[in-house]
Amino acid sequence: MEREIATTPFGSRPMSLALMAGQIEAKEIPDGKAAGKWQVYRDLCEGKSIIGVGDRSLAVLAGLLSFHPDDELSEENGLIVFPSNKQLSLRSHGMANATLRRHLAALLDCGIILRRDSPNGKRYARKGRGGELEDAFGFSLAPLLARAEEFHQAAERVRADNRALKLMRERITLQRRDIAKLIDAAVEEGAPGAWQALWRRFRLVVDHLPRKASVVELEPFAAELDQIRDEVDIALKDFMNVTNPSANESQNEPQQSDSNPESHFEFEPAFEKARGSAEPRREPQEPPKTYHLGLVLKACPDIVDYATAGIGNWRDLMATAAQVRGYLGVSPSAYEDACHVMGPETAAIVVACILQRAQHINSAGGYLRALTEKARAGQFSVGPMLMAAFKAYSSAPEKKAG
C-alpha cells in the first residue's frame, strides 16, 4: 500500500493542518472521475461569493488552467501544472509579480489549488526514458476536480438567489406602477376613499427602498406594497359596484347574442337628439341609418388602425371603440355612462372623433363626461362633431395630395 505523505511547502512557508487536510481530500478522488476544467471554472466564477475567492484570483486560476493540456481534469491526464511566474503573469493579463504571488496565495488559502514543491522550490517536470511524464512539481489542480460538485452547487445557489432577487424586484416594480396609477384613477373618477393617506403610505415605502438589497431585506417592502394594493383594490371594487350595479348584466348581453350565429344584430341607432336620463335603456335595434358607417370611417380613419381585423360593420366599430377608450385614458365607468346616455353606436362615433383629435384634447375622459352630461340634458348632437372631423380630414394638405 502506497503511503500518503503530505508535501510541505518549500522554504520559509509554513505548513498547516488545513493544508494537510486539503492534500488528503485531493488524494481521495474516486477512480475515473473527470470534469471539464472550464465548466468548473465557470461554476467558480458564479459561486465566488460563497467560495470566498476574488476576481483577480480567478484571473490567475484561468492562467493556470491554460497550462493544462487537456479540456478535462482527471488523474489520468495529470493534475500538475508548472509554469514560471513570468509565463503565468503573461497569461494573467500582465499581472505584476508581487500581485501574482498574492493571488496565488489566495487560491491556496481557499483550497482551490495546492502546491507540490520540488526539493529546491523550482517548478518542473521529470520525464522517463520513453519520454513519458514521470513526476512534476508546481501547482496541483486536484482540488478543482475533488470539489467540482461543491463548486457547481455554489453556482446553482447563486443563480437561484439572483433569480429570486430579480423576481422580487419585478414584483415591487409592478406594484409601484399599479398602485400609483390606480390611486390617480380613483382621484380622477372621484371615488371615495382615504387616497391621500394611502398615497403617503405608498410614498413612504417607495422612498425608503434600498438601491442594493437582498431578497430578505426587500421582503418587508414588498409585503407593505401588497397590503396597500389590496386596500386600493377593495376601495375601487366597492366604488365600481355602487356606481355600476348592472355591469354583470350588460356584460352578459353580448354573450347571449353571440350564442346564435343566425341572430346577428347591431345595437340601437344613434339619434341626432340624445336621450334624457329618465328614458329607459332600449333593446338592440338595427344599425343607425342617420350616418353611414363609411362616412364615420372617412371622417375618423385613425380608429381603423386599432381594429384587429378591420371594421366592416357597426359591431366592429363599437368593439374597437371599447378598446380605444382605454388607450385614451377614458375610464370604464365614463364609457359605460356614455353608451347608456348616447347609445353604443353614438358613443363609438364620439370615441372615434376624440381619437382623431387626441393631440388637441388634454383629458379625453373629462371631455367624454362633459359630452355625456350635455347629451343627458338633450344639448348634444353627434352630427356637427362628425362633420367637423370629416371637414378637418378632407381639408388636410397631405390628404389632398393623396
| Position 5 in a domain | no
Q: Which of 129-138, 210-219, 223-232 has the lowest mean pLDDT?
A: 129-138
pLDDT score, position 221? 93
Look at residues 280, 290, 250 and name the one whose alpha carbon lies nearest to residue 341. Answer: 280
Q: What Å distances lie between residue 308 and 30, 74, 255, 323, 339, CA to CA?
A: 64, 61, 19, 10, 22
| Position 253 in a domain | no
Q: Are residues 323 and 223 in the same domain?
A: no
∠ CA 361-366-371 to the nearest 5 degrees? 90
Q: Are residues 396 and 338 in the same domain?
A: yes
Residue 139 host element (H or E): strand 133-140
Q: Are residues 227 and 288 in the same domain?
A: no
pLDDT score, position 309? 80
Q: Domain total for the chain?
A: 3
Is the Cβ–Cβ distance between 278 and 252 less than 8 Å?
no
| Position 220 in a domain | yes
Q: Are residues 348 and 305 in the same domain?
A: yes
| Position 255 in a domain | no
Q: Are residues 56 and 122 in the same domain?
A: yes
282 pLDDT tier (thresholds 50, 70, 90): very low
State the Cα–Cα distance between residues 376 and 276, nearest whole angstrom.
5
Q: Are residues 273 and 396 in the same domain?
A: yes
Q: Are residues 277 and 331 in the same domain?
A: yes
| Position 11 in a domain | no
Q: What is the mean pLDDT of the chain?
A: 78
Look at residues 173, 172, 175, 171 and name the one whose alpha carbon lies nearest to residue 231. Answer: 175
pLDDT score, position 250? 43
Q: Are residues 229 and 281 in the same domain?
A: no
Longest dimension (CA), the chain: 111
Which among 146, 177, 204 is the end of a domain? 146
State the Cα–Cα distance between residues 153 and 155, nearest whole angstrom.
5
15's CB contacts (< 8 A; 6+ apart) are 6, 8, 9
Q: Are residues 274 and 351 in the same domain?
A: yes
Which among 117, 146, 175 is the end of a domain? 146
| Position 158 in a domain | no
Express each pLDDT in 85-124 by its tens digit: 899 989 888 899 899 989 988 998 888 888 887 776 687 7
DSSP 43-75: HHHHTHHHHT--HHHHHHHHHHHHTSSSSEEET
What is the span of the domain harbouring residue 195?
164-243
Read off the CATH number of the domain in which 37 is found. Answer: 1.10.10
| Position 154 in a domain | no
Coil, strand, or helix at residue 136?
strand
Express each pLDDT in 172-220 by its tens digit: 999 999 998 888 888 887 888 888 889 999 999 999 998 888 899 999 9
State the Cα–Cα distance between residues 96 and 17, nearest whole angstrom.
30
Look at residues 5, 29, 253, 263 and name the one whose alpha carbon lies nearest to residue 149. Answer: 29
∠ CA 73-79-81 to the nearest 5 degrees? 120
Dig out the grid coordinates for 136 from the structure. Answer: 512534476
Q: Are residues 23 and 139 in the same domain?
A: yes
| Position 182 in a domain | yes
Look at residues 383, 389, 400, 387 and name the one whose alpha carbon lies nearest to residue 355. Answer: 389
